[in-house]
């Protein structure tokens, strides 16, 4: 198997680009740049040619449309390449120095995987359901992700999964929910997703002045806001109800995803199956 690496970023975010180059270098990675869709240059009306105004998560923010469409550009780049999978990165992550080693030898890749998520979302209380079993590779576990996990800044996607998500257009939900919310996103339910634990990447590698680029976020009012809250509440309840039997029956455990920025590989832990 062959892996490509795509780095998504706005052209004007030169500070982030410099920081990310350091991360890529120390992780042993070479990335192809994907210019992000700029919500200051592309109108909402233009984005609505590939998106819907509203979806299961409520109002689709203009910035969020731009983010999802930026990732779609990376998926299209993967399909135009000769790679089997691609690591998709946003330009504000910290990377473990052994990230490159995970892509140099993909013999560990689960045969049924559509996505393997490398990232930890920085929410102190967030717990996700991870399937029991899995296996250990280079000192980290690879286990099936069985509940919603926020963040879409570092994940490896297969060609088949990339085509699957492109075929789901028009998009109507934020990128991370599209990929990792099994209840609000029908496309997410169509593939199998794995999580690396501890994670290889974490957001937060930012530059002052390059965070708030783009239009202000719109907050719905009145009935649209009530409807959005109701929708999200229903999907959150559905998600909890769905994973409860897996946890009670011992098929999954609720865990906080950790980020470990060290290289954890040891001869004893390389690709040791525990399932």
196-230: per-residue pLDDT in tens? 999 999 999 887 776 666 667 777 778 777 877 88
Helix (H) or strand (E) holding 252: strand 252-255
Model confidence band, residue 269 (pLDDT cutoffs 50, 70, 90): very low
Alpha-carbon distance 72 to 78, whole Å?
10
Residue ranges and CATH numbers for the domains of the chain are 3-205+217-273 (3.90.550)
Model pLDDT, residue 212: 65
What is the total residue count of the chain? Answer: 275
pLDDT per residue over 50-79, tens digit each?
999 998 888 999 999 999 999 999 999 999
Model pLDDT, residue 273: 38
Radius of gyration of the chain (CA): 18
pTM of the prediction?
0.90
Torsion (CA) 9, 10, 12, 17 in degrees, nearest 10: 0
Alpha-carbon distance 141 to 134, whole Å?
7
CB 71 within 8 A of CB 46: no
Burial 56-65 (b: 16+ CB within 10 A, else e): bbbbbbbbbb
Phi, psi of 95 (to 5 degrees): -120, 140
Phi, psi of 114 (to 5 degrees): -95, -40
Place of tokens 């109701």: 230
Place of tokens 């800044």: 153
Among 133-142, 175-184, 197-206, 218-227, which is the least confidently predicted range? Answer: 218-227
């Amino acid at each position: 198997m062959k892996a490509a690496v795509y780095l998504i970023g706005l052209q004007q975010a030169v500070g982030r680009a410099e920081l990310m180059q350091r991360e890529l270098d120390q992780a042993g990675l070479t990335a192809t740049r994907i210019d992000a869709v700029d919500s200051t240059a592309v109108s909402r009306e233009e984005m609505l040619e590939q998106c819907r105004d509203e979806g299961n998560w409520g109002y689709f923010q203009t910035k969020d449309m731009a983010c999802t469409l930026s990732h779609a550009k990376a998926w299209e780049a993967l399909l135009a390449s000769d790679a089997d999978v691609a690591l998709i990165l946003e330009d504000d992550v910290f990377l473990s120095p052994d990230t490159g080693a995970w892509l140099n030898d993909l013999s560990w890749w689960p045969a049924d995987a559509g996505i393997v998520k490398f990232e930890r979302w920085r929410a102190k209380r967030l717990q996700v359901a991870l399937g029991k079993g899995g296996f250990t590779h280079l000192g980290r576990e690879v286990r099936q992700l069985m509940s919603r996990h926020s963040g879409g800044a570092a994940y490896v996607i297969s060609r088949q999964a990339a085509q699957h998500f492109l075929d789901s257009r028009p998009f109507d939900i934020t990128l991370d929910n599209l990929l990792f919310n099994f209840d609000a996103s029908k496309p997410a339910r169509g593939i199998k997703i794995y999580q690396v634990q501890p994670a290889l990447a974490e957001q937060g590698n930012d530059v002052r002045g390059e965070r708030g680029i783009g239009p202000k976020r719109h907050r719905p009012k009145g009935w649209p806001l009530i409807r959005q809250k109701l929708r999200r509440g229903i999907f959150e309840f559905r998600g909890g109800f769905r994973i409860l039997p897996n946890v009670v029956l011992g098929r999954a455990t609720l865990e906080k995803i950790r980020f470990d920025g060290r290289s954890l590989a040891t001869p004893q832990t390389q690709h040791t199956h525990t399932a």
